[in-house]
């Protein structure tokens, strides 16, 4: 099973979706902990890229290695690409291995950050 973190848009079949959380620093810390894991990044133009998370920055820009596309017939120009940089603003979803996500810890961190912002 995989978990999707949504930037917005529709859900991919077979994946659960965690609600969007407007806390970029929380997401940044979360994604930093997933470096080296396999993910699927769905872009707003409907291109889905599978690969290993190489790095993420504070703008949620993502670098993937060893990539493949889920629909090579639709995106044949991507067949020769092995690594890519994805601007954070074009990401719709990031699908993650469910066993790598501690949802309780993530929810607690989001609550704590929300309380700090209210003060």
Print the domain residue range for 72.
2-118
Domain count along the chain: 1
pLDDT tens digit string along 68-114?
Answer: 999 999 999 999 999 999 999 999 999 988 888 888 888 888 888 88
The H-assigned helical ranges of the chain are 24-32, 103-118
Residues 106, 18 contacting (CB under 8 angstroms): yes
At 64 the pLDDT is 98
The confidence band for 9, taking pLDDT boundaries of 50, 70 and 90, is: very low
pLDDT of residue 112: 86
Among all chains, which residue has been given the structure tokens 């872009």? Answer: 43
Euclidean distance between the first and the last CA atom of the chain, given in angstroms as a whole number? 38
CA distance 84 to 99: 25
Higher pLDDT, 11 or 93: 93
pLDDT in tens, 43-70: 999 999 999 999 999 999 999 999 999 9
pTM of the model: 0.74
Q: Report in angstroms the alpha-carbon separations of 43 from 4, 60, 104.
A: 13, 13, 27
- The enclosing domain of 21 has a CATH number of 2.30.30.100
Beta partners for residue 18, in sequence order: 5
């Amino acid at each position: 099973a995989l978990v999707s973190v949504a930037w917005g848009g529709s859900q991919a079949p077979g994946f659960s979706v965690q609600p969007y959380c407007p806390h970029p620093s929380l997401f940044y810390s979360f994604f930093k902990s997933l470096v080296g894991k396999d993910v699927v990044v769905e872009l707003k133009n409907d291109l889905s890229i599978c690969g290993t998370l190489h790095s993420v920055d504070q703008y949620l820009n993502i670098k993937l290695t060893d990539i493949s596309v889920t629909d090579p017939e639709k995106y044949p120009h991507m067949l020769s690409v092995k690594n890519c940089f994805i601007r954070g603003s074009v990401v719709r979803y990031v699908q993650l291995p469910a066993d790598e996500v501690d949802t309780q810890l993530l929810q607690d961190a989001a609550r704590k950050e929300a309380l700090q912002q209210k003060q």
